[in-house]
Structure 1
Amino acid sequence: MARATIYLLPLLILTLLYLSGTAEPASSTAAASSLNFIKASCSATRYPALCVKSLSNYASAIQKSPRQLAQTALNVSLTRAESTRKFVTKLTKFKGLKSREYAAIRDCLEEIGDSVDRLSKSIGELKHMGKAHGPDFLWHMSNVETWVSAALTDESTCMDGFAGRALDGRIKTSIRAWVTHVAQVTSNALALVNQLAA
């Protein structure tokens, strides 16, 4: 009996080594497959390179789920919108702002706040729609599409307050950079939501 165990031990070790060696490519194949799914889905967005860059870190959670992809894109957009709101809030505390500049920043802050609210609602709607089908699915998706579209409009409206040369300068340039980035990831999220709805 002891002799049989001695012969089985190397065989068992070899089997474990073989299995651990084959498990690695399977997980990397799944990761590559998820990344390919993200790239293919992002190709239909307005900013595909940004789409892939902002979502590829979540490939393991997304896998090949269009719903999880849309959910993640909305979460990314919400996170960026919240960061932008914090940034714009800090700008309201700057000393020496022109009254027109201050008014434009306050208006922008309100618009970004509305955008955050609408993105939050769309994420909640997508999460809580369960396994809805048919008319129920379409109703939920219509709500999500409406809120994300409105969030995109809010982001665009923020920049309207800085139109014209009178407000040119570092404040306008900074806000434009932040808001443009949020608008781009929101546009991508809307495209992925539309794909899911289709």
Structure 2
Amino acid sequence: MLLVVAFLLAAAATWQPAASALPPAPAPEPAGHGGAGAAAEKAGVAFVRSCCARTLYPRLCRAGLVPHAASVHSSHARLALASANLTLAALGTLAARIPPPGPGALGDCAEAVASAADQAARAAERLRGVEQAVGPEVLWRVDDALTWLSAAMTDEDTCADGLWPRKYAPAPVRAELRARVRRAKQYTSIALALVRMLASSNPRS
């Protein structure tokens, strides 16, 4: 509960009117280049693109995760972790755009986003240790990550439901927040898909 309260206070303190309804588009995917490590980087990009093709949002997945290909290499665990961190970043951006919460649905939305961010952070923490884990620890880390990412998506739905009544915020604010919730849900969906791929990739046991 203290974490939720702190998250809401931070969101209220940092919110300012937005210049546009959507965050800036992700940077374009880097082209291959020569030099040392070029082959490894190319293989990493191919791995990321292949995994992203199996998600519901392959273009967004590639835009967000190809820049991490050099560190991901061909590791499902690292790719899932990078995706969970993208979800967490999207939720942080969403929280920063929510006006200071009061009673009613908008306050419920702010609390739901704080809860979703907490769940995504928990999932990232579990995924961070997968590569070093052995035996049953691999499975419970992956299962926990799936559980917490699923809970984050439920919280995102709760926030989205609270943004429809007109009385809670001006139309431009509601439109921006709905767009950002939609983007956060897309990132969460991608993370869930990549964690499921991790579960089916026979991680070290």
Instruction: Quickly name the TM-score band, shorter chain normalised.
Output: 0.7 to 0.9
Relative distance call for 1:60 and 1:129 in structure 2 (3 A) is: closer
CA distance in 2: counterparts of 1:107 and 1:35, whole angstroms: 40
1:57 deviation in Å? 1.0
Range 124-133 or range 153-162, more displaced: 124-133
Contact 2:91 2:116 in 1 (8 A): yes
2:47 aligned with 1:42: no
Over the aligned positions, Cα root-mean-square deviation in angstroms equals 2.2
Partner of 2:140: 139
CA distance in 1: counterparts of 2:50 and 2:117, whole angstroms: 28
Show structure 2 runs of 5+ residues with no match.
Answer: 1-33, 201-205
Q: Name the aligned partner's letter for residue 138 of structure 2.
A: F
1:59 deviation in Å? 1.1
Question: Which structure's CA Rg is the greater one?
Answer: 1
TM-score (norm 1): 0.77
Partner of 1:92: 100
CA distance in 2: counterparts of 1:137 and 1:60, whole angstroms: 24
1:165 deviation in Å? 6.4
Partner of 1:62: 72
- Larger relative helix fraction: 1
Partner of 1:124: 125
Partner of 1:52: 62
TM-score (norm 2): 0.74
Q: Name the aligned partner's letter for residue 152 of structure 1.
A: M
Contact 2:164 2:174 in 1 (8 A): no
Q: Name the aligned partner's letter for residue 100 of structure 2.
A: T
CA distance in 2: counterparts of 1:133 and 1:68, whole angstroms: 16
Across the two proteins, how many residue pairs are aligned to each other?
167
Q: Name the aligned partner's letter for residue 176 of structure 2.
A: S
Equivalent residue of 1:44, what SS? coil
Show structure 1 runs of 5+ residues with no match.
Answer: 1-23, 94-98
Q: Name the aligned partner's letter for residue 122 of structure 2.
A: K
Equivalent residue of 1:171, what SS? helix
Write the mapping of 1:183-194 to structure 2, written as runs, cut at 5 A.
Answer: 183-194=185-196
CA distance in 2: counterparts of 1:132 and 1:27, whole angstroms: 28
Partner of 2:156: 155
CA distance in 1: counterparts of 2:96 and 2:49, whole angstroms: 31
Equivalent residue of 1:92, what SS? coil
Q: Name the aligned partner's letter for residue 182 of structure 1.
A: A
Q: Deviations over 1:53-77 (max 9, x none)?
A: 0011111111111100001001111
CA distance in 1: counterparts of 2:75 and 2:143, whole angstroms: 19
Aligned sequence identity (%):
32
Partner of 2:88: 78
CA distance in 1: counterparts of 2:97 and 2:167, whole angstroms: 22
